[in-house]
C-alpha cells in the first residue's frame, strides 16, 4: 500500500510540473460533450428539404405539397418542372427526396382511372434519405386513403366502418427506452465513453513509454520498491480516477439533464464505466509492454483505439459482421461497455443479465499484467545499457 502511495505521490508531482497533456485531454473530452449535445440537439432531423416535380399543376398536386409541408419530417423547398432539375438538385445536395406528379393525375383520378405518382429518395445519405422517404410514403398512402374515404362517405358508410376499411390492421410501435426515436441517446451513450476510453488508452501508453524514453524508468520502479504491480497501480490510478470521473459526469449530464432513459441502476453504469476505463488502461500497458518504442506504440494504440468505434457494434450490429470479425469484437472493451449499457439502461437488466460483460471487462486486466511483466523485463534488459547511454551523454 505504501509503495503504491509512493509512486502515486511521484506521479502527482510529475503531473503538477507537466499538466499540459491532462488539460488538453480534459478539454478534448469536454469539447466532445459540448459538440455532440449541441450538434444533434434536434434528436431526429426535422424539416428535411425535399422538392416536388409538378407536371400536373392541379388542385391535387398543390394539396399534396401543402400536406407535405404540414408534416414535421420534411419541408418542400422547391417545385421543379422537370425530373432532370430535381435530380441535379439532389446531386447538389439541396434536397434529399422528391415527389413526381405526372400530368393528368388529377383528371385521371376523377375519371376513376389509377394515376401513378413516383417518390425518389437519396439513399447515399442514408439517414436523411430514409427519413424523407418515410414521410413521403406516408403522404402517398394517406392520399389513397383520402380518396377512399370520400367515396365511402358518399356511399353512406359510418365513420367507424370507414376506418376499418381504410386501415384494417394497425401497428402500435413502441421504441424501448427511446420513445422519441432520438439519435442523441443512441450516439452519445457509446460515442462519448469511447472517446474517453481511447484517450485513457493512448495516455497510458504515452505515460508508461515516457519513463522508458526519458530513462526515468528505474526511478519509477524504485519508488515502488521494485514491485511492478504497485508501480503500475500508483502510476495509473490517478488517471483511472480522473477519466472515470469524467465518464460519470458525462452520464450524469446525459441521464440527468438530458433525460435519456436509464431503467437500470445508475450505480451499475458508473461501475461499468470504471471497469471500462481500467480495461482500456490495461490494454494500454499491454501495448506499451509489447512495443517499447513510444512513437510506434502510440500510433498502434491509435489504430486499435479508433477501431473500437466500429467494432462496438452500436452503429452496425456485430451479429451482421463476418464471423471472424465477430470473434475479434471481443478484444475491444468498448463492445462490452456498450452491451452492458444496453442491458442496464435500455432494458433495466440486473447483474443476472450483464454479469458476462463485467467478467469480460475484468478479464482485460490480464493483458495489463502481462504488459507489466514485459515492461519489467525491459527494465532488466535495459539496465546493462543505461550506463552506456549516460556515458554517451557525458562524452557529448
Partner 1 sequence: MMKQTLNNIYSGLQDIFEVFTLELHRIFTDGGVMLIFFVATLLYPLIFGAIYKYELVRNLPVAVVDDSQSEPSRRFIRKMDATPEVNVDFCCRTLEEAEALMRQRKINGIVYFPKEYNNQLVIGEQARLCLFCDMSSFLYYRSVFTGASSVMLDEMKQIQLERYAMAGTTGAGAEEMITAIPYDDVKLFSPAGGFTSFLVPALLALVIHQTLFLGICILSGTIREEGQTVAVIPERLRNRSVYRVVIGRSIAYSMLYIPLVAIDLVLLPRVFGLPHIGRLGDLCLFLLPFLLATISFSMTVGAFVRERDTVVLTCIFFSVILLFLSGVVWPRSNMPAFWRFFSYLFPSTHGIQGFVRINSMGAELRQVRFEYLMLWIQAGTYFLTSCLLYRLFFLHERLKKSAKLTDII
Q: Which three cell numbers stand for residue 275?
A: 471497469
Shortest distance, CB of residue 232 to partner 1, whole angstroms? Answer: 19
Smaller CB separation from partner 1, 2 or 154: 154
Shortest distance, CB of residue 1 to partner 1, whole angstroms? Answer: 31
Smaller CB separation from partner 1, 195 or 283: 195
Rounded to whole angstroms, the Cα distance separating 270 from 285 reads 23
| DSSP of 256-311 | IIS-----S-HHHHHHHHHHHHHHHHHHHHHHHHH---HHHHHHHHHHHHHHHHHH
| Segment holding 340, helix H or strand E | helix 333-341
In the chain the first and final C-alpha atoms are separated, in Å, by 41
Smaller CB separation from partner 1, 295 or 377: 295
Shortest distance, CB of residue 118 to partner 1, whole angstroms? Answer: 5
Smaller CB separation from partner 1, 1 or 352: 352
Q: How many CB atoms lie within 10 A of CB 255?
A: 17
Shortest distance, CB of residue 227 to partner 1, whole angstroms? Answer: 28
Burial class (CB in 10 A: 0-12, 13-18, 19+), 210: middle
Shortest distance, CB of residue 203 to partner 1, whole angstroms? Answer: 7
Query: At 264, is the secondary structure helix, strand, or coil?
Result: coil
Smaller CB separation from partner 1, 238 or 348: 348
Smaller CB separation from partner 1, 7 or 128: 128
Shortest distance, CB of residue 142 to partner 1, whole angstroms? Answer: 10
Query: At 289, is the secondary structure helix, strand, or coil?
Result: helix
Smaller CB separation from partner 1, 250 or 313: 313
Cα dihedral 309, 314, 315, 321 in deg (nearest 10): 90
Nearest of 144, 140, 185, 145 to residue 163 by alpha carbon: 145
Distances (CA, A) of 390 to 207, 385, 394: 22, 9, 6
Rounded to whole angstroms, the Cα distance separating 137 from 120 reads 10
Instruction: Name residues whose C-beta falls within 8 Å of residue 174's C-beta, 6 or more positions apart in sequence.
Output: none
Shortest distance, CB of residue 65 to partner 1, whole angstroms? Answer: 15
What values do phi and psi take at 78, rounded to 5? Answer: -155, 150
Shortest distance, CB of residue 273 to partner 1, whole angstroms? Answer: 17
What single-letter DSSP state applies at residue 78? E
Q: How many CB atoms lie within 10 A of CB 101?
A: 23
Rounded to whole angstroms, the Cα distance separating 208 from 377 reads 14
Shortest distance, CB of residue 376 to partner 1, whole angstroms? Answer: 23
Smaller CB separation from partner 1, 133 or 220: 133
Smaller CB separation from partner 1, 28 or 226: 28
Amino acid at each position: 500500500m505504501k509503495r503504491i502511495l509512493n509512486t502515486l505521490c511521484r506521479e502527482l508531482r510529475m503531473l503538477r510540473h507537466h499538466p499540459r497533456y491532462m488539460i488538453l485531454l480534459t478539454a478534448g473530452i469536454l469539447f466532445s460533450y459540448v459538440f455532440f449535445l449541441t450538434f444533434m440537439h434536434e434528436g431526429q432531423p426535422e424539416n428535411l428539404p425535399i422538392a416536388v416535380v409538378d407536371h400536373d399543376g392541379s388542385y391535387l398536386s398543390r394539396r399534396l405539397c401543402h400536406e407535405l409541408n404540414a408534416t414535421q419530417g420534411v419541408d418542400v423547398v422547391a417545385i421543379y418542372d422537370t425530373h432532370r432539375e430535381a435530380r441535379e438538385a439532389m446531386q447538389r445536395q439541396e434536397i434529399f427526396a422528391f415527389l413526381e406528379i405526372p400530368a393528368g393525375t388529377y383528371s385521371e383520378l376523377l375519371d376513376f382511372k389509377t394515376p401513378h405518382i413516383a417518390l425518389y429518395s437519396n439513399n447515399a445519405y442514408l439517414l436523411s434519405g430514409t427519413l424523407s422517404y418515410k414521410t413521403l410514403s406516408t403522404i402517398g398512402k394517406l392520399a389513397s386513403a383520402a380518396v377512399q374515404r370520400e367515396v365511402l362517405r358518399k356511399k353512406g358508410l359510418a365513420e367507424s366502418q370507414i376506418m376499418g376499411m381504410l386501415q384494417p390492421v394497425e401497428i402500435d410501435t413502441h421504441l424501448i427506452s427511446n420513445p422519441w426515436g432520438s439519435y442523441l441517446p443512441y450516439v452519445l451513450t457509446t460515442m462519448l465513453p469511447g472517446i474517453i476510453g481511447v484517450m485513457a488508452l493512448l495516455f497510458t501508453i504515452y505515460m508508461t513509454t515516457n519513463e522508458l524514453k526519458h530513462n526515468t524508468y528505474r526511478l519509477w520502479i524504485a519508488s515502488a520498491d521494485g514491485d511492478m504491480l504497485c508501480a503500475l497501480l500508483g502510476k495509473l490510478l490517478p488517471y483511472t480516477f480522473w477519466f472515470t470521473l469524467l465518464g460519470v459526469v458525462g452520464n450524469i449530464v446525459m441521464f440527468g439533464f438530458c433525460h435519456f432513459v436509464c431503467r437500470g441502476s445508475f450505480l451499475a453504469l458508473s461501475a461499468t464505466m470504471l471497469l471500462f476505463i481500467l480495461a482500456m488502461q490495461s490494454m494500454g500497458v499491454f501495448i506499451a509492454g509489447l512495443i517499447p518504442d513510444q512513437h510506434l506504440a502510440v500510433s498502434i494504440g491509435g489504430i486499435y483505439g479508433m477501431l473500437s468505434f466500429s467494432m462496438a457494434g452500436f452503429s452496425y450490429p456485430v451479429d451482421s459482421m463476418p464471423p471472424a470479425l465477430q470473434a475479434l469484437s471481443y478484444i475491444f472493451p468498448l463492445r462490452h461497455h456498450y452491451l452492458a449499457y444496453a442491458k442496464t439502461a435500455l432494458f433495466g437488466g440486473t447483474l443476472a443479465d450483464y454479469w458476462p460483460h463485467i467478467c469480460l471487462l475484468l478479464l482485460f486486466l490480464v493483458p495489463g499484467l502481462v504488459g507489466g511483466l514485459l515492461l519489467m523485463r525491459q527494465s532488466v534488459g535495459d539496465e546493462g545499457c543505461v550506463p552506456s547511454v549516460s556515458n554517451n551523454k557525458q562524452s557529448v
